[in-house]
């Protein structure tokens, strides 16, 4: 048997093995998606319950009285920055 025939044979076997492996992985992922879909309603209820408990505190800029102050962290420093007038205050 020549080298080319053996090489082609081994390549086809290699690719068949890869196909089997990918099909198996595909089946496992589909099963996992189905299981997560069945449990998704539990997580939605939990997220809704937690979202009701969250209170948003928005501070209004004292300089322009229009913009909302947002907290920006830079390394170990914290700044309150206005979205409209770009006024900054170091905390």
Q: Residue 7: its pLDDT value, please?
A: 60
Per the CB < 8 A criterion, the answer to whether 85 and 61 are in contact is yes
Report the run of H or E that residue 20 belongs to, with start and end. Answer: helix 3-53
- Report how far residue 11's alpha carbon sits from residue 29's, in angstroms, rounded to the nearest whole number: 27
| Structure confidence at residue 19 as a pLDDT band (50, 70, 90) | very high
Q: Residue 56: its pLDDT value, please?
A: 61
Longest distance between any two alpha carbons in the chain, whole Å: 87
Q: In what order do the strands lie in the sheet with 68-74?
A: 59-60, 68-74, 77-82, 88-90
- Report how far residue 70's alpha carbon sits from residue 23's, in angstroms, rounded to the nearest whole number: 49
Query: In this predicted model, which residue has the larger pLDDT, 3 or 18?
Result: 18
Query: pLDDT, tens digit, for every residue of 26-82?
Result: 999 999 999 998 888 877 777 777 776 666 667 777 778 788 888 888 888 888 888
Question: Per-domain residue ranges for the chain?
Answer: 1-55, 56-91
88: pLDDT strictly greater than 90 = no
């Amino acid at each position: 048997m020549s080298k080319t025939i053996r090489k082609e044979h081994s390549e086809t076997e290699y690719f068949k093995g890869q196909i089997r492996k990918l099909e198996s992985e595909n089946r496992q992922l589909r099963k996992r998606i189905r299981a997560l879909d069945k449990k998704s309603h539990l997580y939605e209820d939990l997220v809704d319950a937690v979202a009701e408990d969250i209170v948003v505190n928005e501070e209004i800029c004292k300089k322009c009285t229009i913009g909302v102050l947002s907290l920006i962290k830079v390394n170990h420093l914290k700044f309150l920055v206005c979205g409209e007038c770009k006024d900054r205050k170091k905390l």
